[in-house]
Amino acid sequence: MIELIPAIDLIDGKCVRLTKGEYDSKRIYNEDPVAQAREFERLGFKRLHMVDLDGAKSKHVVNDDVLKAVTQETNLIVDFGGGIKTEEDIEKAFNAGASMVTVGSIAVTKPELFMGWMEKYGAERMILGADVRNGKVSINGWLEDSEEDLLPFLKKYVDRGVKNVLCTEISKDGTLQGPATALYVEIMKAYPSLHLIASGGVSCNEDIKQLDANGIPAVVFGKAYYEGKIKVETLGLGEQK
């Protein structure tokens, strides 16, 4: 069964969602991310995706105190991203209890630095963030587009041992218009060994079922949960890997 990963995106220490990554579209869904994480655990989720949007914008980790509170108060496996630009940022995240970190921009701008981190910390603890807009990988909190085309970008890293990839189709993110299933199928066809985490656009349980039916290993969702469009009781949380 597909791995189900709810998301907490952080601005000013609060759970928010953006639309298409636009900061002025911010909507606060819960002022207490620790309480929200506890609720996810109570519902049966095993894992949590946390994004430090303040960190992504300021280019260094900002909300590690919130991460620490979540990992101390729950048993959730947390992957943490946003603003990880230096080894100090990685250490901050791991010291605050993250099991994995998601790194995107550095993999685009400083590939050898990213590979050094993967060799030091292990492929299992590193998630390559490959967020895409108009076919190009986007960086720095989606504020800039690079010249990297998605599939060649992924190949470069898969060939060097990357196992985990989080791919967000930015034009879908926060829109509740359905995920970019065809894109994820294309990625899995090219790189069937990847643990691909699909992100962006999930609007309902049926979207998750479609991703599962197409062999996508994992999915992140946020707004659909916060707006009550996902029926958690029918997700089959007891069947998770």
Residues belonging to the active site: 9, 131
Q: In 3-state terms, the chain is what percent helix, strand and coil (to 5)?
A: 40, 30, 30
The C-alpha atoms of residue 222 and residue 201 are separated, in whole angstroms, by 9
CA gap 12, 28 in Å, rounded: 10
CA 81, CA 93: separation in Å to the nearest integer? 9
Pairing type for strands 3-11 and 14-19 reads: antiparallel
**Lookup result for tokens 């218009």:** 177
d(CA 48, CA 36): 11
98, 78 contact by CB (below 8 A): yes
